[in-house]
Amino acid sequence: METITSVSEMQQRAQAAHAAGQRIAFVPTMGFLHQGHLSLLKEGRKRGDLLVLSIFVNPTQFGQGEDFEDYPRDLRRDSELASSAGVDIIFAPTATEMYPKGYACYVDVERITETLCGASRPGHFRGVTTVVCKLFNIVQPHLALFGNKDFQQLAVIRRMTLDLNLPVEIIGMPIFREVDGLAMSSRNVYLSAEQRWQALALSRALAEGRRLVAAGERDAAAIVSALSGLIAAEPEARIDYIEICHQLSLENQARVDADSVLLLAVFFGKTRLIDNGFLWPDA
């Protein structure tokens, strides 16, 4: 396994792989790898000849007062995990390598970036699409794998890839959870034992939403209200949003149907966690 930090070196490796007829599979991350990331790498390993993992805590997707400085980083541990997952290349540039002096270019996806996490974190998706577009130009993958954990992010990246005619197949992967149901996230390390326990309200709310729909409830407002009560019962929970949206447009739905996704963002103390899931039975 190689670790590359230079943009031009990564581009040369990608071009050589293309010339040799290799398929490049790519998993972009911010590092501090967990089993959710590893599930993406495992799938990438199956689908590609050259498996590239990027590790880059991207400053442009963090707002003021967010956790950019504190975001957990451990490149040595990540390298060991990546090597055991069969990664061929880790691309781990510095912030100045990605955004050198004079940098002035951004990618903006309209509309679906304006709701949910986009409303709570202004500028966040502009940072995400900018860095993913740059990474696609650098790594030149045939396919890229993203988690459904960041449901809106995946929808935004699909939109960007389609609209900008980027020659990359986007693959969405299921949410990987701890045995007790908490969605894996690098940010889970911020939680105290008590907050970690209370955070199980998220997966409980998803299960309760599905139970209500299976029992015949179709009124989105009634479901959101029931789930708000369930989550707000946790003393350290502060709800950012609970919404039921169409899986493609991400527009709010009044009535639940087979395309309905429940999306949650909740603070436990200072830590903001997200989770989501389909509501329709067998979806």
**18 is known as an active-site residue:** no
Distance CA 8, CA 11 (A): 5
Q: Which stretch binds ligand AMP (CB under 6 A): 42-50, 95-103, 173-181, 264-272?
A: 173-181
Q: How many CA atoms lie within 13 Å of 222's alpha carbon, on the beta-carbon side?
A: 9
Q: Does 56 bind ligand AMP (CB under 6 A)?
A: no
Query: Residue 43 Cβ, how far from ligand AMP at the closest point, in Å?
Result: 10
Stretch that binds ligand AMP, among 43-51, 117-125, 143-151, 207-215 (CB under 6 A): 143-151
Q: Which of residues 206 and 212 has its CB atom nearest to ligand AMP in the complex?
A: 206
Is 159 a binder of ligand AMP (CB under 6 A)?
Answer: no
The yes or no reply on residue 117 touching ligand AMP (CB under 6 A) is no
Residue 274 CB, nearest approach to ligand AMP (Å) = 10
Q: Please choose, out of 13-21, 82-90, 145-153, 249-257, the segment that lies near ligand AMP by the rule CB under 6 A.
A: 145-153
Distance CA 136, CA 155 (A): 16
Q: Could you count the other beta carbons within 10 Å of the beta carbon of residue 10?
A: 23
**Is 120 in contact with 241 (CB distance < 8 Å)?**
yes
Does 185 engage in binding with ligand AMP (CB under 6 A)? yes
Query: Does 43 help bind ligand AMP (rule: CB under 6 A)?
Result: no
What are 272-276's contacts with CB under 8 Å, separation 24+?
A: 272/187, 272/240, 273/183, 273/185, 273/187, 273/188, 273/199, 273/202, 274/117, 274/149, 274/150, 274/183, 275/149, 275/175, 275/183, 275/202, 275/203, 275/206, 276/148, 276/149, 276/151, 276/175, 276/206
What is the β-pairing status of strands 50-55 and 24-29?
A: parallel
Of 13, 37, 142, 159, the residue at the interface with ligand AMP (CB under 6 A) is: 37
Q: How far apart are CA 131 and CA 150, in angstroms?
A: 16
Give me the amino acid identity at 122: P
Only one of the segments 91-99, 111-119, 146-154, 224-232 lies at the binding site for ligand AMP (rule: CB under 6 A); that segment is: 146-154
CB-nearer residue toward ligand AMP: 183 or 212: 183
Say whether residue 183 binds ligand AMP (CB under 6 A).
Answer: yes
Q: Which residue of the set 18, 34, 37, 142 is catalytic?
A: 37
Residue environment code for 30-53, b if the CB has 16+ CB neighbours within 10 A, otherwise e: bbbbbebbbbbbbbbbeebebbbb
How many residues line the site for ligand AMP (CB under 6 A)? 17
- Shortest distance, position 94 Cβ to ligand AMP, whole Å: 17
Q: Does 13 bind ligand AMP (CB under 6 A)?
A: no
Residues binding ligand AMP (CB under 6 A): 29-30, 36-37, 39-40, 146-147, 149-150, 173, 175-176, 183-186
Please give the positions annotated as active site.
37
